Amino acid sequence: MTFYDYGILIDNDTKFVLFGIPWDYLTSIKAPNSSIAPKKIREVTFDLALTTELGLLIPNLKVVDIGDVKIIHKEIKANLKEIKNFVDQIYEKNKYIIPVMIGGDHFCTFPVFKAIGKNLENKETLGILLFDSHLDLYNEWDKRVYSHATVTHRIYDLDYVNNKNLLIVGTRDIDIPEIEIAKSENITYFNSYILSDIGLDKYINNIITFYKSSGIESLYISIDIDVLDPSIAPATGFPIPGGFTYREFWKILKRISKEFKIIGFDLVEVAPNLDLSNHITSNLAAKLIIEFISFISIK
């Protein structure tokens, strides 16, 4: 039994729906295989214990795993449509559901967040928080507007997203075109080194203040696994030193869940082919997903 298998069908009781997007065509790395991450992350949970760190029983968390979106590797248009329909179907069954997506490369976040936004009645108080070592803010990458390196830009282009409700946290590998876009658009990001300068509590307070000062009450959260330090999350395409520890990130998610209504989240960019033989990165991803779900549950 995996963490996420407790229930087969979505019903009125279901709080969380987990699904995978096995798609890594839009990554810029040459030998990616984040497409197998949804399968791998589910698989490692067979060997993990069935309570969370705070002692919650995982079977009680009401997570239903509805499987993966059907992806045809190079068919961008068809896949975007398929992902949209997949998310729409979830809300048709229960409009209070919290979708949890496992990628795939980071571009998978865009169609999911877009579909979630479409299904939400009140977008005035909605924000998006991206945890990432990169800004992913290129306008184009390799002459393509759809790429994991442009995902923040595509999200920013949505009519309900602006520089008051979008924040990137954990950054430490920012390219010149991205810094120029961030400057001209006044997009806020918190570099990861600031955490060691001001301490974790203040760092989290700054995240909270960013959203509260513009009236944001609910958040969609996207976790690029590369926001964590590569010493604990080596299996990702662009491992950048200086990332969060597991405990720092755990505490960030815990506080954010208390302060805001989390309407959905994703975890992307785990590349199991780059992992150690003991699956350290997939284990980390599996733990983060279930811990985050538990924080949202106990709010």
Pairing relationship of beta strands 188-191 and 166-171 according to DSSP bridges: parallel
Which residues contact Mn ion (rule: CB under 5 A)?
Answer: 106, 132, 136, 224
In the complex, least distance from residue 170 CB atom to Mn ion, rounded to whole angstroms: 10
- Min separation Cβ 204 and Mn ion, Å: 21
Least gap, CB of 223 to Mn ion (angstroms): 9
Closer by beta carbon to Mn ion, 224 or else 275: 224
Residue 243's closest CA among 203, 277, 283, 192? 192
Q: What is the CA radius of gyration of the chain?
A: 17
Q: Which two tokens stand for residue 51?
A: 């309570």
Report the alpha-carbon distance of residue 104 to residue 10 in Å, rounded: 23
- Give me the helices (H) in the chain, please: 37-44, 76-93, 109-119, 151-157, 176-185, 193-198, 200-212, 246-259, 280-297
CB of 289 to Mn ion, least distance (A): 17
User: Which residue reads 């590569």 in tokens?
Assistant: 230
Quick one: 42 or 148, whose CB is closer to Mn ion?
A: 148
Q: 152 vs 282, which CB is nearer to Mn ion?
A: 152
Task: Give the nearer residue to Mn ion in terms of CB position, either 171 or 294.
Answer: 171
Please identify, using beta-carbon distances, which residue of 132 and 178 lies nearer to Mn ion: 132
Q: How far is the CB of 53 from Mn ion (least distance, A)?
A: 26
Could you tell me the CA-to-CA distances from 162 to 47, 147, 206, 271 in Å, in that order? 42, 20, 18, 30
Pick 131 or 292: Cβ nearer Mn ion:
131
Phi, psi dihedrals of residue 208, rounded to the nearest 5°: -65, -45
Least Å from the CB of residue 267 to Mn ion:
11
